[in-house]
Amino acid sequence: MIVVCFAEGTEEVEALTVVDLLRRAQLEVVIAGLSGDVISGSKGIRILPDCRIDEIESENVEMLVLPGGMPGTTNLLADGNVDRLLREVYLAGRPVAAICAAPMILGQKEYLVDKKAVCYPGFEDHLLGAQIQTGAKVIVDGNLITSKGLGTAIDFSLALIEKLKGKAAAETIRKQICYETD
């Protein structure tokens, strides 16, 4: 399963675009909240998680996704269950993806050392040891996928689909949603 972590203050469009497009690609996606309660995103949109993050066992996680937004990113960074899950998925060599401010979580945990990465402008100092790619929308470096922000949420989601199901599957979804690229 793909786990998308939701915290109070998560950027709704970044998180829900991932959930929507990966489900369109017939992938099992779970919205995992820091609590079992309804979560208010950064713009006040309320989201009911499928489960609590502490209910997720890392061996069942095919990919972990960390959406951005404030204070969502700092809430994810401070949560011990997110830290445990992130560490276990990362160390198992499975994909970990972060968008907007959330790559700072990967940077502060030193998972980006000698890796190419991108983040929301102004958060680059948090990407400890990364080779920052400011002009990119999405960077895939091994099993780490990072993206710039809300405006790149579709590109980010398509990159996740490509990572999990291949280029043809991502192209199929791109066409289904009428997403035109340069």
Are 110 and 127 spatial neighbours (Cβ–Cβ below 8 Å)?
Answer: no
Q: Is residue 109 part of a domain?
A: yes
**What pLDDT does residue 166 have?**
97
Helix (H) or strand (E) segment spanning residue 75: helix 72-78
Q: Is residue 60 part of a domain?
A: yes
Catalytic (active-site) positions: 100
For residue range 43-101, list pLDDT tens digits in order.
Answer: 999 999 999 999 999 999 999 999 999 999 999 999 999 999 999 999 999 999 999 99
Distance CA 129, CA 132 (A): 9
Question: Dihedral sign, CA of 29, 83, 56, 144?
Answer: positive
Domain residues for the domain of 139 are 2-176
* Helix-strand-coil split of the chain, %, nearest 5: 40, 20, 40
Q: Is residue 8 part of a domain?
A: yes
* CATH of residue 163: 3.40.50.880
* Count of domains observed in the chain: 1
Does this model's pTM top 0.85? My answer is yes
Q: Is residue 50 part of a domain?
A: yes
